[in-house]
Amino acid sequence: MKGINKMSELKKTPLYELHLELGAKMVEFTGYSMPVQYSLGVIKEHNHTRQKAGLFDVSHMGQAWLISENQSKVASELETLLPAEIQGLALGKQQYSQLLNENGGVLDDLIVTKPAEEQYNDRLYMVVNAGCKDADYALMEEKLSSVKILRLEDRAQIALQGPKAVDCLAQIVPGVENMKFMTFKCFSYNKHELLISRSGYTGEDGYEISIPENIAIKFTKKLLEMEEVEPIGLGARDSLRLEAGLCLYGNDLDETISPVEAGLLWSIGKRRRTEGGFSGSEIILKQIESGTNKKRVGLDIEGKMPCRAGTEIFVGDKKVGVITSGGFGPTVNRPIAMAYINTEFSAVNTEVILKVRNKEIIAKVCKMPFNKKTYVR
């Protein structure tokens, strides 16, 4: 109907009213109304997260239990779709992986968790990307014959990231300080269950916290009362993950890109590299053995002009790649980018030319991450 405000049609997270109260600038993101920045602005929010603790609303992500007879049954079925080692995953641990198509392309990237708690010995916990969750769950419901997908739509999720995150969260949830990177544990908070992992997508130490939606605003406000904690929007989330060399689905990963091309070989289990048995495994195993025509690389860019996604990359007159994520890195204080480039030109220190609005900018292939990660292992 004409005249309807498009923003009013967007989905809202359980923290939506809090974002408005905090003065957030709201934008559309994967069908949700989400905060892109608050009063500090993107650069100060970025720096605050690196120096103290930033709080992010990630409630738009898809949370679900995958339930069957036992965890082993879920894991064995899930391995038909994912290249990760799920059956051998230790209790209380998480694994990053990808949902693949028959050509080895990435339908989504996600996190799988094996809870250690006795009451959850029949299930795994999964978090998927917001824009892919409906398609992900539909595919899993079709392919995983004995697994029930229980969406956790009555929960919010926040991420607390930065060097002060552990001290701040431990004040209200004692025990989180004993967790290590990529571990998961259930905690009780005022008789409500919190699902907490020591993980995140900024390259910093921190946590992702799943909270019942009826206490989400109250819990989040308790963290924001702390001097070290500031709310952080999508703008700084993007620059933080770019400095950390982390992929954004839809930019750096999609159905035409394999985990091997994306430099994610570390996420493919050693057993899986031999046995296969997952979607697209024949193609993936061949790529592992013989290499690929393109690779994801980092780019250090001369000057001060950021080069965005879609910028074409040349060696001489030959187009050899394209930037998939790019911008200014506030911590490293220079323009940086991630790109896919022909493998023959992917060696570190290879000089390339970026063409931006009829202007040529010099860049060099570099290692990632651009900023050192501070995970607690």
Going from N- to C-terminal start, the domains of the chain cover: 6-61+154-243, 63-149, 293-366
Q: DSSP code of 163?
A: T
- Greatest Cα pair distance in the chain: 65
CATH 2.40.30.110 fits 293-366, yes or no: yes
Sign of CA dihedral 281, 282, 284, 286: positive
pLDDT on residue 299? 98
pLDDT on residue 56? 98
Which residues in the chain land under pLDDT 70? 1-8
Query: 291 in the Ramachandran plot: left (φ > 0), alpha (ψ -120 to 50) or beta?
Result: left
Tokens of 92: 């209380």
Phi, psi dihedral angles at 344 (to 5 degrees) = -65, -20
Cα distance between residue 377 and residue 368, in whole Å: 19
Write down the H helix ranges in the chain. Answer: 16-21, 42-51, 71-78, 133-143, 165-172, 216-224, 234-243, 270-275, 281-290
* CATH architecture of the region 63-149: 2-Layer Sandwich (3.30)
CB within 8 Å of 242: residues ≥ 6 apart: 325, 326, 327, 329, 336, 337, 338, 370
Cα distance between residue 142 and residue 127, in whole Å: 18
Residue 371 to residues 55, 74, 248, 297, 333, Cα–Cα distance (Å): 20, 37, 17, 15, 11
- Judging by beta carbons within 10 Å of its beta carbon (0-12, 13-18, 19+), is residue 254 exposed, middle or buried? middle
First to last CA, the chain: 53
Can you tell me whether residue 368 is helix, strand or coil?
coil
Cα distance between residue 66 and residue 280, in whole Å: 22
pLDDT on residue 357? 87
Cα distance between residue 261 and residue 253, in whole Å: 10
Cα distance between residue 255 and residue 283, in whole Å: 14
pLDDT on residue 290? 97
Residues pairing with 351 in the sheet: 364
pTM recorded for the entire structure: 0.95
The amino acid occupying position 61 is: M
Q: 6-61+154-243 falls under which CATH superfamily? A: Probable tRNA modification gtpase trme; domain 1 (3.30.1360.120)
Phi, psi dihedral angles at 249 (to 5 degrees) = -65, 135
Give the residue from 50, 53, 45, 49 showing the smallest Cα distance to 372.
50
DSSP 68-87: SSSHHHHHHHHTTT--S--T
**Cβ atoms within 10 A of the Cβ of 369, count?**
16
Q: DSSP code of 165?
A: H
Do residues 24 and 233 lie in contact, with contact meaning Cβ atoms separated by under 8 Å? yes
Q: Give the relative orientation of helices 42-51 and 234-243 as an angle to the nearest 10 degrees.
A: 60
Phi, psi dihedral angles at 71 (to 5 degrees) = -65, -35
Do residues 23 and 222 lie in contact, with contact meaning Cβ atoms separated by under 8 Å? no
